[in-house]
Amino acid sequence: MKLIIVGGVAGGATAAARARRLSEDSEIILFERGKYVSYANCGLPYYIGGEIEQRDALFVTTPEKLERRYRIDVRISQDVIHIDPEKKEIQVRHLETGDVVVESYDRLILAPGARAVKPTIPGIDNGNIFNLKDVTDTDRIKAFVDTHDVSDVLIMGGGFIGLETAENMGRLGIRVTMVEMLHQVLPQMDYDMAVHVHQHLREQKVDLVLGQAVEAFNTQNGRIRAITDKGLELDADMVIVSAGIKPERELAESAGLTIGSTGGIHVDSHLTTSDAAIWAVGDVIEVTDFVSGQQTQIPLAGPANRQGRAAADNALGRPDAVGGLLGTSIVKAFDIVAAATGMSEKRLKKAGYAYKASFTHSLNHAGYYPDATMVSIKLLFSPDNGKILGAQAVGGEGVDKRIDVLAVAIQAGMTVYDLQELQLAYSPQFGSAKDPVNIAGYVATNILKGDVEVLHWHELESFAEGEYMLLDVRSPEEVSEQGMMPGAKNIDIDQLRHHLDELDKTRRIVCYCTVSMRAYLACRILTQKGFQASILSGGWMTWLPIQADREAQQQG
């Protein structure tokens, strides 16, 4: 049997190695258009910034190692330009010589990945404007930084690569401006969680320009000037474009393979395309969302590797189905970590799902142990049975642990009630007797059981003036030091029972504190005394970053 694999990075290299382990006698040829195979895309910004010192550390393996260990015929710098499914042949152009050859196959796995989006903006072909998608891009950027006096860099795009590049440029002492056409970074997250990242980026002296798109570049005094659609002019020594990726679907499309509604190659649960002898994996395909069941694209290394393994199994006659994807992802920018799994609130709204949300802010480990930091969690769940639909977490140490637990919970079909019962490892250095995941479960369960009525920050804005009263139940010292929401009345939770006569039973009372724990207690006291009481979900720690971000965007 002759197996040809197109694309040699994550999914393709994994498929090739797996195929050899399953079949010692098969002929396996891997074509890669670039010069390198099986390299760590996610590590590229860290090599530029010097966190990864050795370039060779970026490579999981090399063509020589694949040939030596797995007896795989690896052909780099060779571009597959056509597929003839009827003849079971491909045409391949050697990029160094221009020669075109025909190669037959019995089975074919497509793993061409995706290419960086290059917006059609006047002036974008300036030599000081770079993409960051592969090793060649990385080498160009690093060489430019190492040989030029770069004081300012402009980064277009606030996704994973944009944030990681911002961190690493900052590490080199370069001033960073980030331009994002949306009003938030990290589009896979909700705005009310992304604002924590905004706040930290600004603290790290990153100039955030949100809600604006670059519409032109020109050269001013040897530097690049970017002009946004709102007329803002931004000067930099270099620009890194991180405006997203697009599936490399053209090869499949020209071969008559079915392209899905999202723009990726359509495959079934066995990763088979519309041609029974061709499979496809990685960034080039559309996948099924685990929660919604809808088709989507999730360009992540983890799923691509899993798909490569499964496609090799299927191509060699060992049926292996892949399930829907959660899109669990995580990114670090300077000292903040942001992670998500499952559906976001904006995606749930778009899909027409009924849902409830909760915000919690808990320390990553026992507060009495040194260096505890806050982990903020947004939980999205079904109002009917509490089934978990999605989660986001932002903070420092421990975010990765919590999002992984929540990802497993979603995949296992668990509910918020189950989160209360999770028996997670506890020692003061690593967690708390009530882990942040447990706390998220407790709060969500309180909502579902009707123990407390929750209002979210954006819901307050829908009320008419005077329709509710804000009650701040923090201590007077906290209020004096930190401030208070406009129009709020302050009564310390420890004094609340003695001041009930100061409150109006005809108006809704919205209680808040720092993270909502004392507000929950206040709400329980008030509702049992005949008041209409609700809590502001997430309290001051949810509301304040949002207000600060709105002000910063208005000023910017």
From CA 378, how far away is CA 398, in angstroms rounded?
15
Q: How many whole angstroms separate alpha carbon 182 and alpha carbon 185?
A: 7
Contact 161, 45 (CB under 8 A): yes
Residue reference for tokens 């649960």: 269
Cα separation, 129 vs 123, in Å, equals 9
* Sequence-ordered list of residues with C-beta below 8 angstroms from that of 115, at least 6 positions apart, any chain: 133, 245, 246, 248
Which residue is catalytic, options 42, 511, 513, 523? Answer: 42
Active site residue 42: yes
271 conformational bin, left if phi > 0, alpha if psi -120 to 50, beta if neither:
left
d(CA 541, CA 125): 43
Return the structure tokens found at 541: 């720690």
Token output for 245 = 């990726």
CA dihedral (191, 192, 197, 202) positive or negative: positive
In whole angstroms, what is the distance from residue 178 CA to residue 161 CA?
A: 12
Q: 197 is written with which tokens?
A: 């990242």
Provide the pairing of β-strand 278-280 with 245-247.
unpaired
CA distance 433 to 411: 25
Active site residues: 42
